Amino acid sequence: MADVSAECNIRVLCRFRPLNQSEILRGDKCIPTFQGDDTVIIGGKPYVFDKVFPTNCTQEQVYNTCAKQIVKDVLDGYNGTIFAYGQTSSGKTYTMEGKLHDPDGRGIIPRIAEDIFNHIYTMDENLEFHIKGCTERFVSSPEEVMDVIDEGKANRHVAVTNMNEHSSRSHSIFLINIKQEHVETEQKLCGKLYLVDLAGSEKVSKTGAEGAVLDEAKNINKSLSALGNVISALAEGTKTHVPYRDSKMTRILQDSLGGNCRTTMFICCSPSAFNDAETKSTLIAKTIKNTASVNLELTAEQWKRKYEKEKEKNKNLKENIQRLEAELNRWRNGESITPLELMAVIPVESDVSEDAALDNQSSGACEPIPEEDKLKYEEEIRKLYKQLDDKVQTHTHADAHMQNDGSKHCL
C-alpha cells in the first residue's frame, strides 16, 4: 500500500440528547430547530456541521455515521480519534460508551470493539493481529474489551452535582493500538485509535459544586480551556504557535488536532433552554485541518535497498571530498585549476521521488531477514548519515579555502 498523505478537515458532528427528567419537571422548553441533516438553529442563528443528530437518533445511526469509516481507516494503517466534547450532562459518556451490555444502547466504543474483532475473524490468514490497551493488556474478544472498559470506569471519579447524578470528574482516553504484519512479506501496518470522553465543561453556579468537587471543576475547566485555545489557534490558521503544551490532555491529543490523524469530534448538547448559553459556546471548531498518512513500516527488502542506496551516496561523497582535497593542494602549490576540472565534481543529491517511492511502496514477497541483521542495517545507516554530516562540513570548509586561494591567485 502506498503512503498517501492527505489534508482532511476534522469531521465535526453535533448531537442533541432528549430532555431529561429534571428538565421536563422544571418545564424547560426544547430550543433547537433542525434544518436538513447538517444545520441546527438556536436563537435564530444557524450552526452548520458535517452532520447534526436530532434528539430521536439511535446509537446505531450515530455509530454508522461517525465511527465505522474511522475503524476501516485505522485497520488500513492510519491513526484515528473520536472524542466527545460538551457541557456536563450533555450526553458525552452515553455517546461514547452507552449501555455496554445492551445491544441497542451500546455506544461507539463497544461497537468499535465488535467491528474490529469481526474484521479479525474474517481477515487474511497471512496477517497477524492484536490489540493492546493502555493497561498493556492483550484482548482476544469484544467481551474482554468490555471488561477492560468496566475496570477503567471503576477507576474514573464520579460525583453527584445539580446537573448530573453521575457526573464524570475526569477525562477518559481509551487507546486501541492495532498492529498488523504480513507473515510472507513482513510488511507492517500500525494504527492507533483514540476514543475520548472529556469531562464536562460547567458553570459552578449551576452545578452547586463545593469543596473537593469544586477544585476538580476548576481543573476540568482549566484543561478544557486549554483545549479551546488549541482549537481556536488551529481554526484561525494564521498562528505559528499552537499551545499544545498548556495541559496534559492537549499534549496527548496533539496528533488528533492538526496532526497525523483522521479525527471526528462529537459535540454533545442539551436541548434545554436552561442551558442555552453553554450550548451556544459549545458549537465551534469547524475549520481545523489534519494531515493523515498511513503508518507503514519498511520491509526487510526495503531496508536492504535503503541501506545500499545510502552506501552508494556515501561512496560518491567520499570521492568528491578526495577530489576537492587534491585540487586544494594544487592551489596551495601554485598550480592552476581549469574550469573543466572544477566542473568535474559529481553532485551527490538525493532523488526525493525515488526515496519516497522506496519508503512508501509495498514490496512483493521477499525472504525474511533475521532481527539481528535488521538491527545491523539500521546501525549502519545511522553511521552513514553521521559520516555524511561530517563530509558535508568538510566539503564546505574545503570550498571556502578554494575560493580564498583563487582570489589570491587572481590578484
Task: Please state the residue numbers annotated as binding site for ATP.
Answer: 86-93
Residues 38, 92, 80: CA angle, nearest 5 degrees: 75
CA gap 400, 328 in Å, rounded? 10
Task: Confirm if 298 and 306 have CB atoms less than 8 A apart.
Answer: yes
CA gap 389, 309 in Å, rounded? 16
CA gap 341, 68 in Å, rounded? 63
Task: Confirm if 7 and 290 have CB atoms less than 8 A apart.
Answer: yes
HEC profile for 130-165? EEECCCCCEECCHHHHHHHHHHHHHHCCEECCCCCC
Q: Which helix (H) or strand (E) holds 291?
A: strand 289-292
Task: Confirm if 280 and 43 have CB atoms less than 8 A apart.
Answer: yes
Q: What's the first-to-final CA gap in the chain, in angstroms?
A: 61
Binding-site members are: 86-93
Provide the 8-state DSSP code for 294: -
* Dihedral sign from CA coordinates of 54, 55, 61, 63: positive
Hey, what's the torsion of the CAs at 58, 59, 65, 68, to 10 degrees? -150
Cell numbers for 346? 559529481
How far are the Cα atoms of 33, 106, 170 from residue 152, in angstroms, in the given order?
37, 17, 12
Task: Confirm if 12 and 50 have CB atoms less than 8 A apart.
Answer: yes
CA gap 199, 88 in Å, rounded? 7
Residues facing residue 93 across a β-bridge = none
Helices 68-75 and 59-66, axial angle in degrees (round to 10): 40
